[in-house]
Chains A and B, each alone.
Chain A
């Protein structure tokens, strides 16, 4: 596959995107960032901004990030900068203790999906 979509948003599993391998794991927002960082360290390039949407990292539980499907070999410095800055930004927000009902969870998933699709559908 040409691209990998790292996500903890299961609503993306129902969609089929051309050339994209959707790698889903039921995990936290920060774990998505850390998993993307691991790929970047292996030579993958980040393609969408990890702080996409204006929803704050302690507000929405969902995050989807598109990266290149294959490794370039060398680590991409721009990708490292972007993901490290996002991880730093995440840390400065106090962790949320909000209880979210199913409707709100679904809305957060919807926004995450439409934001990542704004990149996928317009560019790939």
Chain B
């Protein structure tokens, strides 16, 4: 399966009375977008705003971040089984509006979390401070139940992304990157002397605000399976996860999964990247045993020499991570795990809620308990109402002047477990 990603550089996003893309500026017909989103009866209203890198702007509470992409050649459409019709994606050509994102914001529940600061010290902890963000702030219709409203906001973000991507449909890409994964036998024949590597991606799957969807299927209900890596670039995996801002994978993270792009960068040079195994992180312990058994079985079936395993979330998934690692290692396959840490504010506590001697190669996204002071911003998109209710904050976290003292787990993407962040150790 081969996919070409054509990157179109976005230099600005402006509201206008008609949609057009000109000189790198996306002009968005605000009323048409609003009309599209408000077709969902679960939404009473939605408002839009734009935040640029370097501005004194705080966006909170953040639900999801999505990159506008458009299928311009080949089967299917972006977010198959959710927004586009159900058809296998990952081949042909896809255009990417690089440098911008759709951010959905607004309360789902009373402890809704996630902060993106566009400048200041907090901006260094989130990759989304570097993007031009078209923010969609939704308001629920009266008496809408939490599940329905979560779904409505999730879909609003995806619809807005596809709406915006369509605006630049005739644009010529500034850069084109091609990615290809062949069938297993062809792949082995092509690079017989390179170590075969697969990527095991663990998907958050625990319930309301903790879900992920694969081709529209709730990941709680899948058994581990194999994807071509390029399917992920076309939105085969989307986020329904609103909890644990620092280490949840937004839809943008999935679309730009750095484990996949880095493995492709080494494909044919130092490794033979044969594919992605997706698995879940269910609450029921028997599900964990089954999913880790199957994940190890698929890794063995692919006859890989090594796997990279990425986690999503805190606590419960630590057990899945270690089970996957241990069982794959016991098949004689080397593993590297990517996680983040809750090591206490002083960094001295046990980092994970599970461990095993076979988990001996670990990459960390950082310590989520690290305390940070986020100075006040001139403008808030969304509301600060929930800031001292969210994980990593405390009573008094929010000062009268808008300054926030809290753990970095309040920041969207701060300790992302795909490695999509900027923290490093010295």
Which positions in A face B, CB cutoff 8 Å? 46-49, 51-56, 59-60, 66, 82, 85-86, 88-89, 92-94, 96-101, 103-104, 106-108, 110-111, 114-119, 122-123
Contact = CB atoms under 8 A, between A and B. Distances in A.
B353 A86 contact: yes
Interface in B373-410: 388-396, 409
B71 interface: no
Contact of A98 (B205, B248, B285, B389): B389
Interface stretch (B72-80, B83-91, B313-321, B326-334): B313-321
Interface centre among A107, A110, A118, A123, by most B CB within 10 Å?
A: A118
Interface string B276-304: 00000011111110000000000000000
A13 to B, nearest CB: 19
A122 B221 contact: yes
Nearest to A110: B146
B284 A47 contact: yes
A59 B409 CA distance: 12
Interface stretch (B53-61, B266-274, B344-352): B344-352
A111 B285 contact: no
A107 to B, nearest CB: 4
| Across the A-B interface, the 4 shortest Cβ-Cβ residue pairs | A51-B315, A104-B110, A54-B244, A115-B207
A46 B208 contact: no
A119 to B, nearest CB: 4
Contact of A122 (B284, B353, B409): B284
B243 A55 contact: yes
Interface in B150-209: 204-209
Nearest to B209: A111
B31 interface: no
Contacts of B316: 49, 51-54
